[in-house]
Copies of this chain bind each other. A is one copy, B any other.
Amino acid sequence: MGDGRKIRNMEEFAAVSGISRPTVSKYFNDPSSVRKSTRERIEAALARHDYRPNIYAMNQNRRLTKNIGLVIPYLADPFFAEIARNIESLILAAGFTPILLNSQGNPAHEVDNLDSLRAIKPAGVLLAPLGRASDRGAIEAFCADVPTVLFDSNIEGLGDAFFGSNNDQSIGLIVDHLCDTGAPPVFFEMATPSNPNALKRRRAYQRAMERRGHAPCLIQVPGDGWDFEAIGFREGGRIIAEGGLPSDTILCSNDRLAIGVLSAAYEMGRRVGSGTGHALRIAGHDDHPFSRYTCPTLTTVSQDYAAIAERSAQTLFDLIETEERAPVRQTKLFDGKLILRGSA
């Protein structure tokens, strides 16, 4: 395809396509904004010459670029990687360019990411914040400048919308299940959790237990960072070894902790499972990609992150379309589903 000479800019491309440059410019900003016959002539020329407008020159004078920022708190976590993959596809399908940024569990890095985004003048941003650890002031300032939809972890009052999981419902689901089928669970978590939703889940557990007339019991273990499996393994192993738990049933704040605890229980020869004769029952939360390959397989609650991704993206697209900030901050929590497997 293409004849010999290279097209250097839109001027030259407009010449070979027989259309004026401003119309070609209109075409690239929105192909449907030009007449059909014009569009066809441009696309014919495009097939012959493979010209692409210079994105830097394009974005320099445009007030809004076609870029959408996607900020993920910790991309090495397969759970977040999976959400990122989903949302990326949605952004591409909507004709935008996703800019994927990883906060790597670090609040300073999160702020850096927002700074980078600001420089890029994105049409909008989808932000899964670190949560409690986040620099609220920095995010607030950012949201004031750029249409931003928060997801996964809420920061009260920030952004034009928030979509996440209904931790009250989902934790309630698994607490009910555990209570119905055996001893009421203790709640295993980090004393100072990195995980954004941890505090909500803790309170949801407490409420669910009280609702059923049981006394909540929190097992809060030390540990920093995002290596949850290691913390679950080390501290879970310790707890199990020490004994003295008021229950044989452990509900973990998330699947990654549960994977560690499960592994420790196996090492120690404890029989984990829902069947008769078990020594321990262990459950998690999130339906992590690896939770179906633990031994035994992990009973957990799935988050409806397809819905969260879809709704977050669509809300941002609408925000960008209408070019005005949302009058009221939209919020919706999606229900989880009980995933019954072998561990509880």
Contacts and interface: CB of A to CB of B under 8 A. Distances in A.
A343 B104 CA distance: 31
Interface string A96-115: 01011110100000000000
A330 B188 CA distance: 50
Interface residues of A, number: 43
Interface string A70-91: 0000011110011011001100
Interface stretch (A32-40, A259-267, A299-307): A259-267
Interface string A164-185: 0000000000000000000000
Contacts of A329: none
A295 interface: yes
Copies in the complex: 2
A220 interface: no
Contacts of A52: 119
Most B CB within 10 A of own CB, among A266, A293, A296: A293
A287 to B, nearest CB: 14
A239 interface: no
Given A81-B81, A84-B102, 14 more contacts: A54-B60, A55-B56, A56-B56, A56-B60, A56-B121, A78-B81, A85-B104, A88-B104, A97-B116, A100-B100, A233-B293, A260-B293, A263-B292, A266-B296
